[in-house]
Amino acid sequence: MILPKVAEKKWKATWRYIPMNYNTDIGVVENVTQRTVFRNNLNGEKIKLKFSNRYGKVPLTLEKTVVAKAGKEDDEVSEQITVTKNGKEKIVIDPGTEFFSDEIDWSVKAGEDILLFIYIKDCQPVQCAAAMWSTQCCRTLYRTGSGECCLETGEEGWKESREIFPYVEADENKANVVVGVTEICLYTEPDVKSIVLFGDSITHMSYFSDALLKKLMAERPGLAAIENCGIGGNRILRNASYVPEMAGNGVCFGAAGQARFEQDVFAEDIPDLVLILEGINDIMHPYVFSHYDEIVSAADLEKGMSGIIETVHRYNRPIFVGTVMPFWDKQYSSWFEKGEEVRKEFNAWIREASGADGVIDYDKAAADKANPGKMKKGIHLGDGLHPNTRGGELMAEVAFETIMH
């Protein structure tokens, strides 16, 4: 009698972000504990972290890294373990490098938060980090002058990212900076599905990805995880816009989506589903930053997106393309109609002729019925472009319904 082969467990990312290349020091840390709480939807029996200094200009030294769960009492942790590399507690990440930690036996259940503590002892300029705005599923705080890796879980004595990093201090929405780690992987069940979200700031800011993760935690506990591959300011067709008045000259907008897509999405693991929403910056940036030689047509965007769709299909995976949402704001009035025509034509192609496996119609869900070039009131950050918490929830509702049906 031949017994059926039992499917082997596998490594899956329960949290992943693309590191930002700020091209400048966003701040300096010394004698600081960084504490991040991650919502988790996977069951795991082992854990490993991806350490990253991909765009750093100097070595990044992490004196101690600890993962834990919240304890039964306030301000306590439980089941804490020290993360190592080659058995060593102190971890040095050279400029331009990324690597995984040692694999560590550590059990966690779907629905249990993962707490990550990183102690940085010596004076350290930071040029590269993961960053996100929403704090629903990932929240980072800092304890300065801690003297050692502080494992407290309370609020008192801890500071927000904007209090540590001058670069983000001016932006009250930029809530989280995570230094040194860009991925948490768990050794989990073979039927777990990974969903990659690819795009620009609307993805990167994480109002959408957090809302979708919460939806999956409620409806598919232990069965699916989200990986966020968004980069704020990213475009499909061109590399980062040159913005001399911006610290780092706009380099943080990243390489063109069509150029970075395969590396960022498929280099480590083959996801089960890709959701992409991108194109608005290709339309807007040439006007906003006066790069008029970079003005795009809908045909240009269609060609770029077609190449991305073909890449996913080459890996025999499905891709759902999102329609580009409205962006009207009075500051864009001098060129809005030109950009709006491109957006509408590009969206028509996405809906009717892209060859994608599915279409998520964010545009239809977000548009004001009386003025379809504008977002509905109450779903954006006040700029008519970037969804807020409610906008992210609306996107997640549309995406979840589409991919489930």
pLDDT attached to residue 167 = 82
User: Does residue 105 sit in the same domain as residue 234?
Assistant: no
Name the packing angle between helices 298-314 and 257-266 (round to 10°).
Answer: 20
pLDDT attached to residue 3 = 55
pLDDT attached to residue 71 = 80
151, 180, 187, 213: which is closest to 48 by C-alpha? 187
Q: How far is CA 248 from CA 20, 67, 99, 182, 254, in A?
A: 11, 33, 25, 21, 12
User: Does residue 135 sit in the same domain as residue 221?
Assistant: no
Phi and psi at residue 160, in whole multiples of 5°? -75, 160
Structural domain includes residue 318: yes
Structural domain includes residue 7: no
User: Does residue 154 sit in the same domain as residue 239?
Assistant: no
| CA atoms within a 13 Å half-sphere pointing along the CA-CB vector of 129 | 24
Out of 142, 158, 184, a domain closes at 184
Structural domain includes residue 4: no
**Residue type at position 132:** M
User: Does residue 80 sit in the same domain as residue 196?
Assistant: no
pTM above 0.85, yes or no: yes
Structural domain includes residue 6: no
User: Does residue 351 sit in the same domain as residue 368?
Assistant: yes
Domain harbouring 291, CATH code: 3.40.50.1110
User: Does residue 237 sit in the same domain as residue 282?
Assistant: yes
Out of 151, 184, 217, a domain closes at 184
Domain residues for the domain of 226 are 191-404
pLDDT attached to residue 73 = 72
User: Does residue 61 sit in the same domain as residue 100?
Assistant: yes
Structural domain includes residue 351: yes
Domain count, the chain: 2
User: Does residue 245 sit in the same domain as residue 227?
Assistant: yes
User: Does residue 103 sit in the same domain as residue 36?
Assistant: yes
Cα 61 to Cα 122: distance, rounded to the nearest angstrom: 8
Out of 184, 215, 245, a domain closes at 184
User: Does residue 305 sit in the same domain as residue 169?
Assistant: no
pLDDT attached to residue 405 = 79
Structural domain includes residue 374: yes
User: Does residue 328 sit in the same domain as residue 389?
Assistant: yes
| pLDDT by residue, tens only, the chain of 405 residues | 565 555 789 999 999 999 999 999 999 999 999 999 999 999 999 999 999 999 999 999 999 999 999 887 777 899 999 999 999 999 999 999 999 999 999 999 999 999 999 999 999 999 999 999 999 999 999 999 999 999 999 999 999 998 999 887 766 566 689 999 999 999 999 999 999 999 999 999 999 999 999 999 999 999 999 999 999 999 999 999 999 888 889 999 999 999 999 999 999 999 999 999 999 999 999 999 999 999 999 999 999 999 999 999 999 999 999 999 999 999 999 999 999 999 999 999 999 999 999 999 999 999 999 999 999 999 999 999 999 999 999 999 999 999 997
Cα 187 to Cα 233: distance, rounded to the nearest angstrom: 33
Structural domain includes residue 347: yes
**Residue type at position 281:** N
User: Does residue 30 sit in the same domain as residue 102?
Assistant: yes
pLDDT attached to residue 2 = 60
Structural domain includes residue 397: yes
